[in-house]
Chains A and B, each alone.
Chain A
Amino acid sequence: MVGYRLTLGLMLASALMLVHAQTPGMAQVMQISESPMDKPLSGFHFLTPETRAMQQDDFANPGYLWVAAGAEAFQQNVGAGSCASCHDTKAMVGVATRYPKFDESAQTLINLEGQINQCRTKRQQLPALALESQGMLALSSFITQQSQGMPTSVSIHGPAAPWLERGKAYFFQRRGQLNLACHQCHDESWGKMLRGDQVSQGQPNGFPAYRLEWQSLGSLHRRLQDCESGVRAQTQELGSDAYLALELYLVWRSQGLALESPAVRR
């Protein structure tokens, strides 16, 4: 009991110290290391019970068709050797939680798809897989599924910092003929109804996800294109720097949420 009181006291004291230590410079550091969302909610939260059940049942969830194809592709001997010739499957656990990340060799931000294509071209001596191709979706969903249930942990410091800023600016910029920003729907209006759709927080943790509307699995970038065409904005290319930066911001913003891929979404 006394010990409990003591820890509580200590916690209070350190909390107070934190408040006092918040000089302007300090506040900035705190801002960047804390996620902007108090309590991020997965898109899962906004689904009907039927769609939730579909996601949670590995046999009913169509996303597992891609995961299974990816498991096979991972072992397949192609080019200079299979993925498995370099990586133990177990070593893929947790990998997806760390993307997008700044890649030193390429000197740019890459996401998991970018990493897969680096392995393809540099190690396997094969042409890059087209984004959104069945081959890419199979590998990306298989690798992401290995981290299912794990929270993301992306780096936003050092060379990643300007990418985060860029992604954040994108999120707040109004765009399209309907002049709406991601922020206005996914920060300001989540929980409300946009016609028959309850607007979610626009979290990335379910992707690659099976979308009922697509009748297919698809990447986060494809989902972003849909939101952009919804407001009649010119979409960006899949894998573009603009979407990579936005992806980093979204993943950072989702801090604390567990990966769900392959999720099922409307």
Chain B
Amino acid sequence: MRWALGAMLFCLCTQVVATSEQQAMRVVSDAMVAPLSDVTGSAEQGEQIFAARDAGHCVLCHQVSGLDAPFQGNIGPALGGIGDRLSPAQIRLRIADASLLNAQTIMPSYYRTEGLHRVDERYRGRTALSGVQIEHLVAYLAQLQSQNQ
């Protein structure tokens, strides 16, 4: 069901996608407008989540120049200046479920529990990141502007 919705994203403008937590989240064009938590995101906390092994660990695949984390990966694109290119809502969708935009993507879907195969018991039925954590990440990435680099 969600796959069909994902495929139609570019044809129709507005979709309602049922999330793992059974809330409705609005996906408009290539963006997810509604925050995933009532807590306002903090860029400072987002930076930590981005780098920490036991949180987002986004540095596995992404680099942000100036970020204090050794050995940043390059499987995904560098995210320095991403705030110039993408709105917070666009960033939110890419973290929550990048596979809606590119079914072949390597980028994991951090806010998804369905359509996954053989998830370890300890993680089954749980999203990789919480809504609050994603809001922190959105706040952090949205303020990465190229002139600050």
Please give the residue numbers on chain A whose beta carbons come within 8 Å of chain B beta carbons, in ascending order.
173-180, 184-185, 188-189, 192-196, 199, 229, 232-235
Contact = CB atoms under 8 A, between A and B. Distances in A.
A188 B120 contact: no
- For the complex of A and B, 3 pairs with smallest distance between CB atoms: A196-B71, A178-B108, A177-B123
A176 B71 contact: no
B59 A195 contact: yes
B106 A180 contact: yes
A72 to B, nearest CB: 39
Interface in B44-92: 57, 59-61, 70-75
Size range of the chain B interface in the assembly = 20 to 34
B119 interface: yes
Interface string B92-106: 000000010000001
Interface of B: 57, 59-61, 70-75, 99, 106, 108-109, 112, 116-123, 126, 128
B30 to A, nearest CB: 19
B109 A179 contact: yes
Given A177-B126, A193-B72, A193-B73, 11 more contacts: A175-B117, A176-B119, A177-B128, A189-B75, A195-B57, A195-B72, A232-B122, A232-B128, A233-B117, A234-B121, A235-B120
Contacts of B112: 179
B53 to A, nearest CB: 9
B109 A194 contact: no
Contacts of B60: 194-195
A86 to B, nearest CB: 40
Given A189-B106, A194-B60, A234-B121, A179 B72 contact: no
A173 B117 contact: yes
Contact of B128 (A178, A192, A199): A178
B73 A194 contact: yes
A176 B120 CA distance: 6
A156 to B, nearest CB: 25
Given A188-B106, A232-B123, A176 B75 contact: no
A179 B73 contact: no
Contacts of B73: 192-195
A232 B57 CA distance: 14
User: By CB atoms of chain B within 10 A, which of A175, A178, A196 has the most?
Assistant: A178
B75 A233 contact: no
B107 to A, nearest CB: 9
A177 to B, nearest CB: 4
B120 A233 contact: yes
